[in-house]
Amino acid sequence: MYEDFILDKAYFIKVIKDLAEMIEENRDYLTGLDSEIGDGDHGTNLSIGFREVMKNLGQWENENLTVIFKKVGMALLGKVGGASGPLYGSMFMKLGEPAHGKERVNFKEFYEMFKSGIEAVENRGKAVVGDKTMVDALRPGLNAFTEAIESGEKPEKAFGTFLERAKEGSQSTIPLIARKGRAMRLGERAIGHMDPGSASSCMILEVFYRNLLNYKKNY
């Protein structure tokens, strides 16, 4: 079933464009979350990064998926800065690797992309679940995605589970004391606030999901 579910380049280009739009729309919301326990720049920095992506996306569209995601990641790495620059930069750079230079992927490869991207975030940030970071959303989400794939769930359902568990993971950061990042130094005062990186991670997954639901052409 997964081998026949093909996602082509048009899907990914649309996702990247929608990500840029989503970040602009949520810039002040994310910045607001970050003001509560960080330094209030998460939304604006992501917007600086995705503006750079959009400035160049036209020139990248003829490349294969591996190259496109590498360039998106490099742009984020180069422009976003802070902790989210290396984290999202690494994630997007690695996202394209399982596409192995192709212009389309099947759903199994699509799953592998997220596995590769999320592992890159963990390797770069050295955070684990419970540290009050984006890993609290991404890791449980990915684990749920893996289980869904192994038990042969339908693609949309499998990704839906991924997103749902990631959102639960993001919610689960609210009562936590942070063990990474600027919020770490707040101690108990970080309790009661959602980690902004976990929130933006879910928003990013949501864009992939929304486009997946609208993507019926080859299924």
Partner 1 sequence: MRRLINDPYNIVEEMLEGFCKAHNKHVKLLENDGRVVVSKKAPVKDKVGIIIGGGSGHEPLFLGYVGEGFADAAVIGNINTSPSPEPCYNAVKAVDAGKGCLYMYGNYAGDVMNFDMGAEMAAAEGIRVETVLVTDDVYSSTEIKNRRGVAGDFYVFKVAAAKAALGYDLDAVKSAAEKANANTRSMGVAMSSSTLPITGKTIFELEDGDMEVGMGIHGEPGVRRTKIEPADKVVDEILGYILPDLPFNEGDEVSVLVNGLGATPLMDLHVAYRRVAQVLEEKKIKIYNSFVGNYATSMDMAGMSITLMKLDDELKELLDYPCDAPYCVIK
Binding site residues, partner 1, CB under 8 A:
27-28, 31, 35, 38-41, 43-45, 47-48, 51, 77-87, 89, 124-125, 180-182, 184-186, 189
Please report how close the Cβ of residue 65 comes to partner 1 at its closest, in angstroms: 23
As given in the structure block, the two tokens for residue 24 are: 């602009």
Choice between 73 and 160, CB closer to partner 1: 73
The rounded Cα 89 to chain-centroid distance in angstroms is 10
Please report how close the Cβ of residue 49 comes to partner 1 at its closest, in angstroms: 10
Q: How far apart are CA 198 and CA 174, in angstroms?
A: 10
Please report how close the Cβ of residue 67 comes to partner 1 at its closest, in angstroms: 18
Q: How far apart are CA 112 and CA 96, in angstroms?
A: 9
Side chain identity, residue 16? I
Counting every residue written for the chain, the total comes to 219
Choice between 155 and 181, CB closer to partner 1: 181
Choice between 32 and 171, CB closer to partner 1: 32
Query: Is 60:16 a contact under the CB 8 Å cutoff?
Result: no
Choice between 29 and 219, CB closer to partner 1: 29
Please report how close the Cβ of residue 117 comes to partner 1 at its closest, in angstroms: 16
Please report how close the Cβ of residue 55 comes to partner 1 at its closest, in angstroms: 12
Which are the contacts of 28, defined by CB distance < 8 A and separation ≥ 6? 43
Give, in order, the Cα–Cα distances in Å from 55 to each of 7, 58, 138, 200.
24, 7, 28, 21
Q: How far apart are CA 126 and CA 103, in angstroms?
A: 32
Choice between 84 and 116, CB closer to partner 1: 84
Choice between 44 and 146, CB closer to partner 1: 44
Please report how close the Cβ of residue 57 comes to partner 1 at its closest, in angstroms: 18
Query: Is 173:140 a contact under the CB 8 Å cutoff?
Result: no
